[in-house]
């Protein structure tokens, strides 16, 4: 049987994350991680070439995901609309 559990107190780490997210509220249109509040975005491209000094081709694997979360193995979108975290 399923039971409702009262919401637990945030851990120290969650409290810091929430405080940081509050301090750095997303400005209109800015890319900001919905999970950790980081503003560093990452685009991963596989198989690109440099020809005549320009990067060409390649397949985009990830686009505009949070760099900090990606380091931890989480793909977190940074666009304002919330999508489920993979
Ligand atoms: Zn993040």
Going from the Cα of 3 to the center of ligand 1, the distance in angstroms, rounded, reads 31
Rounded to the nearest angstrom, the distance between the alpha carbon of 37 and the centre of ligand 1 is 6
Q: Which residues of 24-52 are buried (b: 16+ CB within 10 A; e: fewer)?
A: eeeeeeebbbbbbbbeebbeeeeeeeeee
pLDDT bracket for residue 60 (50, 70, 90): very high
How far is ligand 1, taken at its centre, from the CA of residue 75, in Å? 8
What's the pTM?
A: 0.62
CA of 19 to the centre of ligand 1 (A): 14
Name the DSSP class of 6: P
Q: Distance (Å, rounded) from C-alpha 21 to C-alpha 55?
A: 35
Q: Cα(4) to centroid of ligand 1, in Å?
A: 29
- pLDDT tens for 4-36 read 888 888 889 888 888 877 887 778 888 888 888
CA 51 / ligand 1 centre spacing (Å): 33
Rounded to 10 degrees, the C-alpha dihedral 18/20/22/24 comes to -150
């Amino acid at each position: 049987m399923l039971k409702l559990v009262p919401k637990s107190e945030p851990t120290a780490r969650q409290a810091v994350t929430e405080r940081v997210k509050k301090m750095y509220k997303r400005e209109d249109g800015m890319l900001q991680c919905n999970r950790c509040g980081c503003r560093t975005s990452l685009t991963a491209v596989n198989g690109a070439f440099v020809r005549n000094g320009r990067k060409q081709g390649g397949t985009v694997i990830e686009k505009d995901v949070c760099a900090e979360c990606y380091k931890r193995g989480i793909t977190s979108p940074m666009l304002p609309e919330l999508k489920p975290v993979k």
